[in-house]
Amino acid sequence: MISNLPLLLVNGPNLNLLGVRQPEIYGHETLRDVEVLVADTAQARGFDVRTIQSNHEGVLIDAIHDARQRCSGIVINPGGLTHTSVVLRDALAGVALPVAEVHISDVMAREEFRHHSYVRDVASVHVIGEGVAGYARAVEQLLDLIVKRATA
């Protein structure tokens, strides 16, 4: 049986500045555009979405912990925490939900410090460098995984 629990969309530090911060890298779409795209993509498959963006690591971890029994899966763009946060990785691993990791830019084509992701090994889906549109692909792939697991 497929759970009707919502997805959790997590956006990390500085993603509140989408559309303003380095548009040559991140584009002109805003965080609100991302949230609408994710909600529309999930709704087309019968899922709702809860959203959170914070510049504070602990707030994101609390939201991830809260999702453990309230959500079907997590779509996350951890921002700079991707490369620095073991505790964010541990929170994702600890809730044992399927995770999709999203990055707007191609982090592997950027500075060397961005090449390592603490989230990579706990995420089942990875969408990197596809711009904001990558969020929709991440939702689709995550929902495919959730449905497959529920019907297996």
Is 115 among the annotated ligand-binding positions? no
For the cut 80, the answer to whether the pLDDT of residue 28 exceeds it is yes
Residue 82 has pLDDT above 70, yes or no: yes
Q: Is 72 annotated as a binding residue?
A: no
Please measure the distance between the N-terminal and C-terminal CA atoms of the chain and give it in whole angstroms: 9
Mean pLDDT value across the chain: 93
- 56, 103, 115, 135: the catalytic one is 103
| 7-151 has CATH 3.40.50.9100 classification | yes
Please give the model's pTM, rounded to 2 decimal places: 0.94
**65 included as an active-site residue:** no
Q: Evaluate if residue 1 carries a pLDDT over 70.
A: no
Catalytic residue status for 135: no
For residues 129-151, average pLDDT: 96
Which of 26, 28, 118, 135 is catalytic? The answer is: 26
Share of the chain above pLDDT 90, in %: 80
On whether 83 is known to bind a ligand per the annotation, the reply is: yes
Query: Count of CB atoms within 10 A of residue 28's CB?
Result: 11
DSSP state of 3: -
- Residue 104 annotated as binding? yes
Q: Is 27 left (phi over 0), alpha (psi -120 to 50) or beta?
A: left
Q: How far apart are CA 97 and CA 104, in angstroms?
A: 22
11 contacts 79 by C-beta, under 8 angstroms: yes
Say if residue 114 carries a ligand binding annotation. Answer: yes
Distance, CA of 38 to CA of 7 (rounded, Å): 9
Rounded Cα gap, residues 67 and 139, in angstroms: 16
Instruction: Please check the confidence at residue 110 and state whether its pLDDT lies above 70.
Output: yes
DSSP notation for 55-88: S-HHHHHHHHHHHTTT-SEEEEE-GGGGGT-HHH
CB 138, CB 75: distance < 8 Å? yes
Domain ranges of the chain: 7-151
Handedness of CA 116, 123, 125, 129 (dihedral sign): negative
Structure-derived torsion over alpha carbons of residues 16, 88, 137, 103, reported in degrees to the nearest 10: 60
Q: How confident is the model at residue 2 (pLDDT cuts 50, 70, 90)?
A: low
